[in-house]
Amino acid sequence: MLALSALGVVFGDIGTSPLYTFKTILGTAEKAPDAAAVLGALSLVLWTLFIITSVKYVLFAMRVDNDGEGGILALMALLGVKKQHRPTIIAVGLFGAALIYGDGAITPAISVLSALEGVNMATPALQPYVVPAAVLILLALFAIQSRGTATIGHLFGPVMLTWFVVMAVMGIFGIAKHPAVFAALNPVYGLSYLFSGGFTGFLVLGAVFLCVTGAEALYADMGHFGAGPIKLAWFAIVFPSLIINYAGQAALVIDGAPTDGNIFFRLCPDALLLPLIVLATIATIIASQSIITGAFSMTRQAIQLGWLPRLQIKQTSSEGYGQIYVGAVNWLLMIVTLGLTVGFGKSDNLASAYGIAVSLTMLMTSALLFIAMREIWQWSLLAAGAVAGFFLIIDGAFFLANLTKIAEGGYVPLILAVSVYGIMWIWHRGAAAVGERMREALIPVPEFLARLAEKKIPRVPGTAVFLTRTERDTPPVMGWHVKHNRALHEHVVVLRAEVLSVPWVSSANRINLAEVAPNFWRLHARYGFMERPHIPDLLIRGKALGCTVDVSDVTYYVGHETVIAREDGKGLPAWQERLFALMERNAQHVSDFFSLPNDQVVEIGRQIAI
């Protein structure tokens, strides 16, 4: 059942690649392809699917998990944060994650356009309506995100199973036209085609790479389903269906079928073409949904790890933690996706923009895998270098081939990635600067309590919980509260919530509680980057561990920072300070992020010069 569910979430992107991959490969040729060229192209596709997806991701990458979670962010957290702070690894992982946002904008556009372009073969008169129909479908797709996909999500797996079965049957129909097409399993055909075509042969790699866009999802979604179900679905259903369908398309071309239009739809009998177009459109919508959901999940991971400002995250279903909605990400993706759909107009044009983001992400994943082989598996330098070097050579070749397509549209995902990475970098720098300035004015708890006694500050009934970023001493928000209100509650809890570089934290390791003075408690809570903090629940657990506070009479105190520039010129550059201040003003309120009851929160404003 998990494998069936994985079909609808993990394999939508790679599973709809046959709609546009083979026609794009043959479209790069300067002349009509002969049988040798077709077999060579098919050989490259089959071996690319095998080496990158089956070997690199399924057999190697999926063995490196961060407490069950996968993906480049989880791998970065494992290697660059969990073991020790390593800026280079963190930078590589973050830029790889930023590139996935570019993929998230292009995938819905190219997939839906490819499916709808099938109507050109059924009814050419409908060709002018392809782009408007794609825009309407994508608008509806993004519009329903806030309602969640739990209800229709149960249908995703069966629909995609139907899609893969239909693809395989169509492939068998095509193979029957020219059964000798399976000679392409010999890699010599692919290598001969690659090296005999000169520079044009090298450029074809950029089109071949389209067959594995979506392979990263096998690793990234590992935490949702587990490695076993994903591997089962890949080897039992997805991989065979893709091989058979690509072979069927190649056999049809060798048999003399024209290469103009969409080769995929030529595998279908004319009477069943319209139903196939409908099924293909639904499959591409599911693929797009998976990409959008993945962007939401990655955004939450980045927020929890401190690389993005707090955004409003809505849980759309109680059935699964991954069922979330991030409005800001959804609407920005929608604007970019619709712009790409209208601006490029055809899936052939979008194919030029598609591969560069994914190929660079895969290249970075291979680099991180080399470090994992050395440090986690304890492989020798020779063994790790040989395996990872093999992957790096292949990924590097695909990336270089895709670099030639920058002027044709490849600049789009790169601009998106640089923008997202810039936001991450500035937010992290600003947050670190704020933390540093706050630590400069810390007062030890005994000294603070002595001042209270000296100034005869009254202790009033009730419990005050002060949220803080600091690891020690009196939190600044408490000092400001006493300064302005001339009183302090009888019971005080200083609470620091820390997000670790692991996806989940066990219940036994959730909190540390210490009474640093009479009725003065310090509570340190730990969360994984896939979890949502809930502070009221923490207090109930703290009471069970001996914290003598009345959880029914609690007031939460949070600081609201107004970021300004330092007058001494030693802070962040002015443009970075302004951008960070803008993000800080528009970030989700801290009380919502920590699930605090709104009628029990007191916010204290303060200025922080960075």
Nearest Cα residue to 14 out of 213, 262, 248:
213
Indicate if 404 and 450 belong to the same structural domain: no
pLDDT value at residue 321: 60
Which class for 262: exposed (0-12), middle (13-18), buried (19 or more C-beta within 10 A)? buried
Show Cβ contacts of residue 301 under 8 Å, excluding neighbours closer than 6 positions.
Answer: 71, 73, 74, 529, 530
* In contact, 106 and 413? CB cutoff 8 Å: yes
Q: Is residue 454 part of a domain?
A: yes
Q: How far is CA 572 from CA 210, 426, 439, 586, in A?
A: 42, 10, 17, 20
Q: Sorting pLDDT into bands at 50, 70 and 90, what band is 356?
A: confident
Structural domain harbouring 235: 2-425
pLDDT value at residue 586: 86
Q: Is residue 431 part of a domain?
A: no
pLDDT digit string, tens, across residues 255-302: 888 877 788 999 999 889 999 999 999 999 988 888 888 888 888 888
Q: Which of 425, 453, 486 is the last residue of a domain?
A: 425
* For residues 215-232, average pLDDT: 86
pLDDT value at residue 197: 74
The mean of the pLDDT values for the chain is 87
Q: How far is CA 28 from CA 21, 23, 81, 415, 428, in A?
A: 11, 9, 43, 25, 43
Indicate if 275 and 405 belong to the same structural domain: yes
Higher pLDDT, 572 or 232: 232
Q: Is residue 161 part of a domain?
A: yes
Report the distance separating Cα 467 and Cα 438, nearest Å: 13
Higher pLDDT, 384 or 355: 384
Report the distance separating Cα 275 and Cα 604, nearest Å: 61
Q: What is the largest CA-CA distance in the chain?
A: 96
Assess whether pLDDT exceeds 80 at residue 441.
no
Q: Is residue 435 part of a domain?
A: no
Indicate if 127 and 200 belong to the same structural domain: yes
* For residues 211-216, average pLDDT: 90
* For residues 414-434, average pLDDT: 90
Indicate if 413 and 474 belong to the same structural domain: no
Paired with 492 in beta bridges are: 464, 520
Give the other-Cβ count within 10 Å of 13's Cβ.
Answer: 26
Indicate if 445 and 421 belong to the same structural domain: no
Show Cβ contacts of residue 459 under 8 Å, excluding neighbours closer than 6 positions.
Answer: 452, 487, 488, 489, 490
pLDDT value at residue 306: 83
Q: Which of 425, 449, 470 is the last residue of a domain?
A: 425
Assess whether pLDDT exceeds 80 at residue 223.
no
Which residue has 């609407």 as its token pair?
331
Assess whether pLDDT exceeds 90 at residue 48.
yes
Q: How many domains does the chain have?
A: 2
* For residues 471-489, average pLDDT: 86
Indicate if 386 and 462 belong to the same structural domain: no
Q: Is residue 432 part of a domain?
A: no
DSSP, residue by residue, 227-259: HHHHHHHIIIIIHHHHHHHHHHHHHHHHTT---
Report the distance separating Cα 412 and Cα 163, nearest Å: 30
Indicate if 389 and 449 belong to the same structural domain: no
pLDDT digit string, tens, across residues 24-34: 888 876 667 88
Higher pLDDT, 24 or 544: 24
Assess whether pLDDT exceeds 60 at residue 83.
no
